[in-house]
Amino acid sequence: MQNIIAQAKRFLRDEEGATMVEYGLMVALIAIVCIGAVTTIGTNLNLVFSDIAVKL
């Protein structure tokens, strides 16, 4: 019985799963920021090329 309790305590103290979740959240946040930046840059770049085409 003491062995089971010791294993349960070790399992509760183990933070490896928590760090994986944190890394997953960081990757998701970075991906969202990158998608937003690329979308904004793409829209602005499209406007620049449209202005150049009109001036030509």
pLDDT of the residue at 6: 85
Annotated domain spans of the chain: 16-55
Residue bearing tokens 């150049």: 52
Distance, C-alpha 17 to centroid of its chain: 17
DSSP 8-state assignment for residue 14:
-
DSSP 8-state assignment for residue 43:
H
Reading the chain (56 residues) residue by residue, the pLDDT tens digits are 788 888 877 877 776 666 788 888 999 999 999 999 999 998 889 899 999 999 98
Joined together, the tokens standing for residue 36 give 């937003």
Residue bearing tokens 């085409």: 53
pLDDT of the residue at 16: 67
Q: Return the closest-CA partner of residue 25 out of 33, 15, 13.
A: 33
